[in-house]
Structure formats: C-alpha cells, structure tokens
C-alpha cells in the first residue's frame, strides 16, 4: 500500500483563502485543484471530534475559553467565519465526520493532524481514528500525524497499517531517529522555516517522503525543493504549486 505523496497539501484546508479548518476551506482547496488537504482534529468536552486548531476559541470564533471545556452543543452556537472575512459570516466549526464527508465528495487526500488538548492525547486519537476507520477506505490517500507522541503511539496500535507522518517540531527531539523507527513512519513533516540542508540530508537517508510546513513563499518552496523536500503544506496551495520545479 504505497503512499501516493502529494506535492502540495492545502494547510487547514486553504487557510489563505477561506477560514481555516472549515467545510468552506475544504471546498476552496478542491476548487483550486489541490489534491490533498491537512486538517486538525480535537475533542469537545463531550468527546465529539471537531476540526479546530487552537486550544482556545478567541482567535477563530466569536466565543471565548477552552475548547476542552465546551460541549458540542456549545461549540455549535459559535460563528467561525467572520474573523476571516465578512463573506464567510455565519459558518460553523465542523465535526470530523462532516469534514470527511466533504473531503470524500471532493475526492481529496487527507493528512489528519491529531491536535489534542493537554491530557487528552490518547482519547483524541482513539475517537478520531475510530470514526475514520468507519468511513475512510482509501488508505494510500490518508496520512495520520501529530506532535503528540502518545497520539502517534495510539495510531500505531489501533491502525498499524495506516500511513503515519512524523511531525517534527522546530527543535527536533534528541531521539528522533528512534521515534521514527518505532512509529514505523511513512513520511517526515518538517518545519520548513527552521530546517537546514543538513537536516534534510539526514532525513533523505531514510528514503521516505519529506513534507515541509507551512510554506507560503514560492522562494522558500524552491529552496527546500532543491534540498530534497518532496511536498509542501501551504495556506496558498495554488501559489506554491505554480512555483515548484517540475520533477525530472
Ligand atoms: O501538520 C503541519 C502543520 O499543520 C503543523 O502545524 O500548528 O499548523 O498545526 P500547525
Ligand atoms: Mg496542523
């Protein structure tokens, strides 16, 4: 089951053009012929998996407080579009299931980033993967990632055959090679603004695809591509796509 790695992944949908992590973002990415998107998933207080990035509501909704303290009913009262632009006023935070339905409708690949609130790492992965397992069939177009080692270990246990991306933070853990081997990862996801040619050279030895987040500048995409990066998470997938050198 080889991973059909994309060259461009729309970050949080297409976060440069539509509110991040929303159904509108998914449709926007599909409209610009992005073949894959990345979304963040976390749990409400009552364990409903929703597509949302931050631990708190202020930045991207009209609400306030911690997501982990809100029931799904609370979350559904919130408005998640007008912070971005008036033209998106009135849109809601989607559930994981709603997002998957839209992704399947648009025939997109998915990198689902498990983004647990603190202390909820295992249950977030369990709930999200359980739902995915019921509705997602095409496992060569699905990549699970997380900054949380516990969430990744849960993915290894629950869904051993699914592809896992090793999401490396700005500062790599000292034992990153051991972690990569233990998690049997299919791809590396690096911070494209904090990695060096030496970092990429080290990763190339693993002969796994290397993806860089979050790249919105064509010049940076070209530099990383020359170092050996295969694909890019971008808020502006169309801009980055146009700027890439064509493979030989
Ligand atoms: O998964 C790549 C990227 O999304 C990681 O950072 O904070 O945008 O979720 P963040
Ligand atoms: Mg993310």
53 in catalytic set: yes
Predicted pLDDT of residue 245: 73
Task: From 28, 27, 30, 25, select the one nearest 40 (Cα to Cα).
Answer: 25
pTM of the model: 0.97
Q: What is the mean pLDDT of residues 110-125?
A: 98
At 112 the pLDDT is 98
The three-state (H, E, C) secondary structure of 83-115, written as one string: CCCHHHCCCCCCEHHHHHHHHHHHCCEEEEEEC
Q: What is the DSSP string of 162-211?
A: SEEEEE--SS--TTHHHHHHHTT-SEEEEETTS--HHHHHHHHTT---EE
Please report the pLDDT score of residue 115 as a whole number: 98
User: With a 6 A CB cut-off, is 41 part of the ligand 1 pocket?
Assistant: no
Task: Find the mean pLDDT for residues 143-155.
Answer: 98
Ligand 1 pocket test: pick from 36, 167, 190 the residue with the most ligand atoms within 8 Å of its Cβ. 167
**Beta carbon of 235 within 6 Å of any ligand 1 atom:** no
Out of 29, 109, 190, 214, mutate this one to test ligand 1's pocket (max ligand atoms within 8 Å of CB): namely 214
Q: Report residues near ion ligand 2: CB below 5 Å.
A: 40, 113
Higher-confidence residue of 65 and 3: namely: 65
* Residue 248, pLDDT score: 47
Domains of the chain: 8-243 (3.20.20.190)
What are 185-233's pLDDT values in tens digits?
A: 999 999 999 999 999 999 999 999 999 999 999 999 999 999 999 999 9
Report how far ligand 2's centroid is from the alpha carbon of 19 (Å): 14
**Does residue 42 have its Cβ closer than 6 Å to ligand 1?**
no
Share of the chain above pLDDT 70, in %: 98
**pLDDT value for 156:** 98
Percent of the chain at pLDDT above 90? Answer: 94
């Amino acid at each position: 089951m080889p991973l059909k790695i994309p060259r461009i992944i729309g970050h949080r949908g297409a976060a440069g053009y539509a509110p991040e992590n929303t159904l509108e973002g998914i449709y926007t990415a599909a409209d610009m012929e992005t073949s894959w998107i990345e979304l963040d998933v976390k749990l409400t207080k009552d364990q409903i998996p929703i597509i949302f990035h931050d631990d708190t509501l202020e930045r991207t909704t009209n609400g306030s407080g911690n997501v982990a303290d809100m029931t799904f009913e609370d979350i559904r009262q919130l408005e998640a579009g007008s912070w971005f632009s008036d033209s998106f006023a009135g849109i809601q935070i989607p559930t994981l299931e709603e997002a998957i339905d839209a992704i399947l409708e648009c025939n997109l690949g998915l990198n689902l980033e498990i983004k647990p609130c603190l202390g909820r790492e295992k249950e977030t992965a369990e709930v999200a993967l359980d739902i995915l397992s019921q509705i997602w069939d095409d496992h060569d177009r699905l990549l699970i990632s997380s900054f949380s080692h516990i969430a990744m270990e849960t993915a290894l246990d629950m869904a051993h055959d699914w592809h896992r991306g090793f999401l490396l933070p700005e500062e790599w853990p000292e034992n990153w090679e051991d972690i990569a081997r233990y998690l049997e990862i299919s791809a590396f996801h690096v911070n494209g603004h904090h990695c060096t040619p030496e970092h990429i050279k080290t990763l190339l030895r693993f002969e796994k695809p290397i993806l860089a987040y979050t790249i919105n500048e064509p010049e940076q995409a070209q530099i990383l591509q020359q170092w050996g990066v295969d694909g890019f998470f971008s808020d502006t997938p169309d801009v980055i796509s146009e700027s890439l050198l064509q493979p030989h």
